[in-house]
């Protein structure tokens, strides 16, 4: 009987722990292709990271205003940012007028 109680307690603790562990932060990818951010709008969870990759032969950058700005990225180069606070973050490429994107953090 005592052993059964012990096992039950152990299983209960396991279940509680499984729900207590927060969801893993994810990394999302945005491509810079044909002078556009793809996808142009992306929804992520607070704590997630977004990695931009320049898939164009020309230079691009990622300017998130107050949050930060990447250096000029050559083809194949990447820039990453982690979004900790919920909100809507518009960003642009300073090199190409009209090249803009949006990250929505939930
Ligand atoms: Cu650009």
- pTM for this entry: 0.80
pLDDT at res. 92: 98
What residue ranges do the domains of the chain occupy? Answer: 26-105
Q: Is 9 helix (H, G, I), strand (E, B) or coil?
A: helix
Q: Which CATH architecture has domain 26-105?
A: Sandwich (2.60)
- From the CA of 48, how far away is ligand 1's center (Å)? 24
Cβ-contact 62, 93 below 8 angstroms: yes
Q: Shortest CA distance to 65 belongs to which of 18, 39, 101, 98?
A: 101
Distance CA 88, CA 79 (A): 19
Å from CA of 78 to ligand 1 middle: 13
User: Tell me: the pLDDT tens digits for 2-61?
Assistant: 777 765 666 666 666 566 666 789 999 999 999 999 999 999 999 999 999 999 999 999
């Amino acid at each position: 009987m005592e052993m059964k109680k012990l096992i039950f307690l152990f299983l209960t603790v396991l279940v509680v722990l499984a729900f207590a562990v927060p969801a893993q932060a994810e990394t999302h990818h945005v491509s810079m292709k044909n002078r556009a951010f793809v996808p142009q709008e992306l929804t992520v969870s607070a704590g997630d990271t977004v990695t931009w990759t320049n898939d164009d032969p020309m230079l691009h950058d990622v300017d998130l205003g107050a949050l930060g700005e990447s250096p000029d990225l050559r083809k194949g180069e990447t820039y990453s940012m982690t979004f900790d606070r919920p909100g809507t973050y518009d960003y642009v490429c300073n090199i190409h007028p009209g090249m803009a994107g949006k990250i929505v953090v939930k």
